[in-house]
Amino acid sequence: MAVPSEPVLFNKAPSCIVGPNDDVIIPRGSEKTDWEIELAIVIGTEASNVSEDKALSHVAGYCICNDVSERAWQLERGGNWMKGKSAPTFGPLGPWLVTTEEVDADALLMVLRVNGEPMQQGSTRTMILRIPYIVHYVSQFMRLMPGDVITTGTLPGVGMGYKPARFLKPGDMMERP
């Protein structure tokens, strides 16, 4: 997909959040369930219209998210991404929350395997948008509250990007080594 002129924002229903080792359930009617490993920003203090230079002071820390997405529902059913991203179990988070002091979030290696095969591997160093900008940008449109999670965008290697496309099937195993 082309890089948009502004970040694409969408919500995931809180009911989609599960633990990092919980099963992801492919919903009835899903044909294109996809994986997306991402860095997740966890908000620590209320933030509304914050500047980039103050943005990190509102971040409690970071964790890993698998932004599981049903691509047909997301992209082929009227353009509302929430439909493809909010099914129960489509938001595995964790297993750890690391504080901003504990890690350089601009240099983290992220890997996602499906059935033992590395599908996504890369570094936050290659993210298109930096974390302070992401927090600043989102805070222009909503009040961020402690515990809110912002996912930052995925690495190359999602299933829909393969030729031919590859999507999850019942019994597939996703893991982050």
Asked whether the predicted pLDDT for residue 161 surpasses 70, the reply is yes
Q: What is the pLDDT of residue 2?
A: 77
Q: What is the pLDDT of residue 1?
A: 66
The reply to whether omega before 164 is within 30° of 0 (cis) is yes
* Residue 52, burial from CB neighbour count under 10 angstroms (0-12, 13-18, 19+): middle
Confidence band for 4, pLDDT divided at 50, 70 and 90: confident
What's the mean pLDDT when you consider all of the chain?
Answer: 95
Q: pTM here?
A: 0.94
Domain covering 14-175 assigned CATH 3.40.462.20 in the classification: no
Take residue 173 and report the two structure tokens written for it: 């195993």
For CA atoms 156, 177, 64, 76, the dihedral sign is positive
Confidence band for 5, pLDDT divided at 50, 70 and 90: confident
| Arithmetic mean of pLDDT, 24-47 | 97
Q: What is the pLDDT of residue 105?
A: 94
Q: What is the pLDDT of residue 71?
A: 96
Tell me: the pLDDT tens digits for 88-100?
999 999 999 999 9
| Arithmetic mean of pLDDT, 76-83 | 86
Take residue 135 and report the two structure tokens written for it: 């927090």
- Kindly give the pairing relationship between strand 17-18 and strand 91-92: parallel
| Arithmetic mean of pLDDT, 57-71 | 97
DSSP letters along the chain, please?
A: -PPPSS-------GGGEE-TTSPPPPPTT-S-EE--EEEEEEE-S-BSS--HHHHGGGEEEEEEEE--EEHHHHHSSSS-THHHH-STT-EEB-S--EETTT--TTS-EEEEEETTEEEEEEEGGG-SS-HHHHHHHHHTTS-B-TT-EEEEEEPS--GGGSSS-----TT--EE--
Asked whether the predicted pLDDT for residue 30 surpasses 90, the reply is yes
Domains in the chain: boundaries? 14-175
How many alpha carbons fall within 13 Å on the CB side of residue 79? 1
Confidence band for 3, pLDDT divided at 50, 70 and 90: confident
CA–CA gap between residue 174 and residue 177 (Å, rounded): 10
| Arithmetic mean of pLDDT, 146-162 | 94
